[in-house]
Amino acid sequence: MADPAAPAVWLVDKPAGPTSHDVVAGVRRRLGGRAVKVGHAGTLDPFATGLLVLLSGRATRLAPYLVGLDKAYLATVRLGATSDTGDPEGPVREVAPPPPAVAVRGAVAGMAGAQRQRVPAYSAVKVGGERLYRRARRGEAVEAPERDVTVHAIDLLGYDEALGLAELEVVVSTGTYVRQIAADLGERLGCGGYCQALRRTRVGALAVGDAAAPDAVPPAGRLAPARALAHLPARELTPAEAAAVAHGRPVPGEGDGPVALVVGGDLVAVAEPAGEVLRPRVVLT
């Protein structure tokens, strides 16, 4: 088995209940404890399940090239009720009878595209130097910031009118809150809504089907850094160039953004174009 402390990306299928920090801490213990650095490329709320992309060792420095990827989710939205937190942790309040299916289909169809989204009151975003959820728990009325997001696709997979449960598949830009999409859908329909269940199925091209349960890491769930960054253009290095890059020296090349520098399929570094050369920014070896 490969050294679990070596630079690697780990695809983990988070269960409902623990925080993302809990999952990171557990994986760190299994990889060797505090001697091994473990980070993430985007968290999930405690009630949510699905794909967490974790990074270990020097691969933690690759996080900036993963956090901005689009993400796909399966969401169960309960219509006819609201939740202060936007999820089942509540408190939940009944508002109105669930709307008819034809109204739900119409409302969902109009939610795709670029838009301004208000950050949920119960979120980790900081306002005035303090996280919003802490101020919300104290009952403070705080104007939550807005951000530009894109809902690339949103599809109604099914709707149980008797229970008011809408099953959605959404693909969104980074920084989008699916909890807020659920609340916005309820507001459009005039009946209230919240996200009852949420599962992240994809981060970029990385799929939850390739992920392992937290207690199976390692050895399961390991992904080579080069595969994790397959969305970047790649530049194959000669042995001499690989030695130069390992010492932080640039190599000839060009590009419009980050470039993966590889040798035989293994990631050596990520470089940025600077004139007619590629300058290493993150070196793994």
List active site positions: 45
Of residues 206, 113, 214, the one with CA closest to residue 154: 113
Q: How many CA atoms lie within 13 A of 48 on its CB side?
A: 25
The closest alpha carbon to 12, from 33, 46, 40, belongs to 40
CB 111 within 8 A of CB 154: yes
Cα 52 to Cα 20: distance, rounded to the nearest angstrom:
8
CA dihedral (57, 2, 207, 281) in degrees, to 10, reads 40
Concatenate the DSSP letters of all residues of 112-128 into one string: -EEEEEEPPSSSS-EET
- Greatest extent of the chain over all pairs of C-alpha atoms, in Å: 69
